[in-house]
Amino acid sequence: MDHQPRPGVRPKKSARDRLIRLAATHPDWALGFADEVWWSRVTPPPVRAWTATGQPLRLVEQAVAKGEAKAAACYGLLTRWWDAATDEPTEALWLRFVEGRPVSAVTTRYLAWCCERLAAMGKTALLLVWDNASWPISQEVRTWIAAHNRAVKTGQAQIRMVPCPLPIKSPWLNPIEPKWVHGKKRVVEPMRLLTMDELEARVYAALGADHADHLTMPEQAA
């Protein structure tokens, strides 16, 4: 669908495609497709299932006790980098669940964590593609990225960040979106309510991601 003309889509799609081509020619750069998503314990995704004739699949309506969380939020970065010898891309999905909800202060912590992982791999730049949700385009996040890039120039940080916002309502331009769609179908439990730990374990297994500590607000980490 991304080949079809839409107002405002083609210029930003071209910017995204340019970053993809640039990353493929720089082995010390990484390309990242970022997003955040909520995983519900009570609302199942649209799924199809085969059952015996005359025996329909009956889903059990789930209820969460008062004070318990109905869903968990997590950040994801679908990361790609290219091997200089083979020109073949390597891909990994980095997940971090959130204590609470994704806000700007947590977003910057997630970006810093991604940069630390890339620096440990010897990378020098992250070409970051994400949507126009409030958390990536907030003033706090933009200010943090600008300060981070200034620190790179002075040698205080290693990973330069080049953000590329996508057009509004264009999930087909972000390849991390299908990961969420298929992942929600893999983790669904029709017969009982999953605990939060069980839900998170299923998400990591379904998406083939390594476990990581929860992200917290700065005051929570004290």
Helix (H) or strand (E) holding 40: strand 29-40
The pTM for the full model equals 0.85
Residue-wise pLDDT for 190-207, tens only, equals 788 999 999 999 999 999
Residue type, 120: A
The token pair at 171 is 């999930």
Residue 191, pLDDT score: 80
Q: Is-contact 152 57, C-beta < 8 A?
A: no
| Structural domains of the chain, with CATH | 23-40+71-221 (3.30.420)
Residue-wise pLDDT for 73-131, tens only, equals 999 999 999 987 777 899 999 999 999 888 999 999 999 999 999 999 999 999 999 98
With a cut of 80, say whether residue 19 has pLDDT above it. Answer: yes
The token pair at 104 is 């700007």
| Dist CA 127 CA 108 (whole Å) | 16
What distances in angstroms separate CA 137 from CA 22, 42, 84, 92, 164, one per listed residue? 23, 30, 33, 24, 10
Q: Is-contact 30 124, C-beta < 8 A?
A: no
- Give the angle 125-128-134 at the CA atoms, nearest 5°: 140
Residue-wise pLDDT for 147-193, tens only, equals 999 999 999 999 999 999 888 778 888 999 999 999 999 998 878 89
